[in-house]
Amino acid sequence: MNRGSLAENRAERQCDSKLPCGGRSSIILAILLRTSNAQCSLTLLLRRVRLPFFASLLVLMLTVLDSSRADAADTPILFVHGNGDTAALWHTTLWRFESNGYDASRLFAIDMPHPSARANDLQEEANRSSTRDQRESLSAEVDRILAATGSEKLVLVGSSRGGNAIRDYVSHGGGHQKVAIAILCGTPNHGVVARPSGLENEFNGMGPFLDNLNKLHEDSEVHPDVKFVTLRSDTNDKYAQPTGEVLGFPGEPTGVNYDGPELRGATNLVLPGLDHREVAFHEHAFRELYRTIAGVAPERLEIQPQAKPVLDGMVSGYDNAAATNLPVADARVEIFEVDAKSGLRQGDAHHEAVTGADGRWGPFEASETASYEFVLSADGYPTLHYYRSPFPRSSRYVHLRLAPRAALLGDGAQPCTGSAVQMTRPRGYFGHGRNRFTLGGDVPDGIDQGVPATSAALGCFSSDEPLSVPAVFDEETIVVRTHPLEKGHITIAEFHY
């Protein structure tokens, strides 16, 4: 028993015989409110205190606790992805909210049409977005959600660049009237760099975009009408480093530091050891998201399985050396259940679809315990074989991205022959010394020591015969099958966590 509990017990014993009922109930109430597990405390109090009115007090307290949870779970939340990313990155976070009783119909994630930033924020660039583009897309989605839910305000949660759009919208797009809480996860609020060159880049802390946001509000870097919270790593965020090893100029100062994502006037939280993406998508990040929004810690961090989850998503493509979040029509999707130990298909396809103008490939009723191979093909792209671990819950954000061969395999000096397998971790990076990761039993090349900075690795297999290849990341294992590269097939093992 902790010291606080002992003190509470002493206080209760001392007052039990001296105070009238009202005094005793005040102490009980104080103990209740300081207790992390209210229902357990109520049971203990029932055994210790026999008061005629106590049943009514219990009902009242449980009603207050339940109604505050219900009120919190009624606030819409919109999740905003980072540079080059998609809404799909948030589906594990949504699963955790749902597993804690949050209404799934109040959880949303936006797909920015052109998710990658321009080199120069003021110059047009194909399949790149400006800060204004981002702000306007976010504003339109907020209005759509508020109209659909009948709510006056919502919560915005942004990963990395998504936080730039949130801050811009709150300060320059009228968002301060529609946003109750803004949570920024790994957002480079003072820049990835702060240097006198490249000032028109969105991520330069000395440039006009960030400089304006950080000086707009007197004595604070956040809008006074909105509660701001930041989540950051201690020293493991590759975009919050004092020197430029990860950025290609080792030993040179970046002009920013580990605390670059913090904001004066916000509640700033540090998540030790997590990387740039994990401070948005890791279970420890979820704990802080939930606590900030609901006002209490989540009951669980693990994802509760759901019988017969329904999956859906969008097929998107590639343009000007970057992924888009625009739908691709006439793409073909086939889904096969596979043996988790071998990757071999278990019969015919369970689902087949050709996308329409909206790019949607579902819905597909899955098994929460089955592993799947998603085969994606479209004119002008290689055929991609996505292997995935079981989906424990439903999601409408199981997006599938087409990409050219060069984007997936790179242009290394020793190109793949035979077959190629990419293993990818969209919600975090591979970190030597903190993670266990192998492809075909070996640690893949291309993942540097030091600050985690790589989310994908490639393995080449020269065998002409199909192979079963295990891809391992910590506790998650996906066994894939190789497919012939010469016939335009590439295998991808995509981790959930």
Cα three-residue angle 455-362-477, rounded to 5 degrees: 35
Is the whole-model pTM more than 0.75?
Answer: yes
What is the rounded CA–CA span in Å between residue 254 and residue 232?
18
> What's residue 410's pLDDT?
83
Structure tokens at 497: 């966590």
Phi then psi for residue 490, to 5 deg, are -135, 140
133 DSSP assignment: H
Q: Which amino acid type is present at position 267?
A: T
Largest CA distance in the chain: 87
Given this model, what pLDDT does residue 73 score?
65
For residue 200, which of 115, 114, 123, 255 has the smallest C-alpha distance? 123
> Which of 373-384 are b and which e, b meaning 16 or more Cβ less than 10 Å from the residue's Cβ?
bbbbbbeebbbb
202-233 pLDDT, tens digit each: 999 999 999 999 999 988 999 999 999 999 99
| Dihedral sign of CA atoms 213, 214, 218, 221 in order | positive
Query: One fold for both 73-294 and 310-494?
Result: no
Predicted local confidence at residue 414, as pLDDT: 63
pLDDT at residue 19, rounded to an integer: 33
Exposure pattern of 74-103 as b/e (b: 16+ CB <10 Å)?
A: ebbbbbbbbbbbbbbbbbbbbbbbbbbebe
By the 8 A CB rule, do 431 and 357 touch?
no
pLDDT value at residue 471: 98
Q: CA 62 to CA 345: how far, in whole Å? A: 50
Q: Name the fold adopted by 310-494.
A: Immunoglobulin-like (2.60.40)
CA torsion, ordered 319, 324, 329, 334, to nearest 10 deg = 110
Burial of 270 (0-12, 13-18, 19+ CB in 10 A): middle
pLDDT at 27: 32
Q: What is the rounded distance in angstroms from the CA atom of residue 134 to the CA atom of residue 325?
A: 13
Cis preceding-peptide flag for 392 (omega within 30 of 0):
no
Structure tokens at 400: 């599938």
Q: Tokens standing for 165?
A: 């759009």
| Contact indicator for 3, 35 with CB cutoff of 8 Å | no
Backbone angles phi, psi at 98, to 5 degrees: -60, -40
Tens place of pLDDT per residue across the chain (497 aa): 333 333 333 333 333 333 333 333 333 333 333 334 444 444 444 344 454 544 455 445 444 445 445 455 689 999 999 999 999 999 999 999 999 999 999 999 999 999 999 999 999 999 999 999 999 999 999 999 999 999 999 999 999 999 999 999 999 999 999 999 999 999 999 999 999 999 999 999 999 999 999 999 988 999 999 999 999 999 999 999 999 999 999 999 999 999 999 999 999 999 999 999 999 999 999 999 999 999 999 999 999 999 999 999 999 999 999 999 999 999 999 999 999 999 999 999 999 999 999 999 999 999 999 999 999 999 999 999 999 999 999 999 999 999 999 999 986 556 788 999 999 999 999 999 999 999 999 999 999 999 999 999 999 999 889 999 999 999 999 999 999 999 999 999 999 99
Q: Which residue ranges make up each domain of the chain? A: 3-70, 73-294, 310-494
Helix (H) or strand (E) holding 232: strand 227-232
Bridge partners (DSSP) of residue 185 are 159, 231
Q: Determine how many CB atoms are found less than 10 A away from the CB of residue 435.
A: 16
Residues in Cβ contact with 140 at an 8 Å cutoff, skipping those fewer than 6 apart: none
Under 8 Å between Cβ of 47 and 285: no
CATH assignment, 73-294:
3.40.50.1820
Which 3 state secondary structure label does DSSP give 406? helix
| Residues 438-488: tens digit of each pLDDT | 999 999 999 999 999 999 999 999 988 999 999 999 999 999 999 999 999
Strands of 328-435 (E only): list them.
Answer: 332-338, 351-354, 364-365, 371-377, 383-388, 400-401, 419-424
Write the CB contacts of 182 (distance below 8 Å, at least 6 apart in sequence). 155, 156, 158, 163, 166, 167, 170, 222, 226, 227, 228, 229
**Are the beta carbons of 455 and 444 closer than 8 angstroms?**
no
Q: How far apart are CA 314 and CA 467, in angstroms?
A: 29
The H or E element containing residue 172 is helix 161-172
Q: Which strand ranges, in their side-by-side order, compose the sheet holding 315-319? A: 322-327, 315-319, 400-401
- Give the residue from 371, 370, 382, 328 showing the smallest Cα distance to 353: 328
The contacts of residue 491 (CB under 8 Å, 6+ apart) are 384, 385, 387, 419, 420, 421, 422, 469, 480, 481, 482, 483
- Strand 77-80 relative to strand 456-461: parallel, antiparallel, unpaired? unpaired
| Per-residue pLDDT, 463 | 87
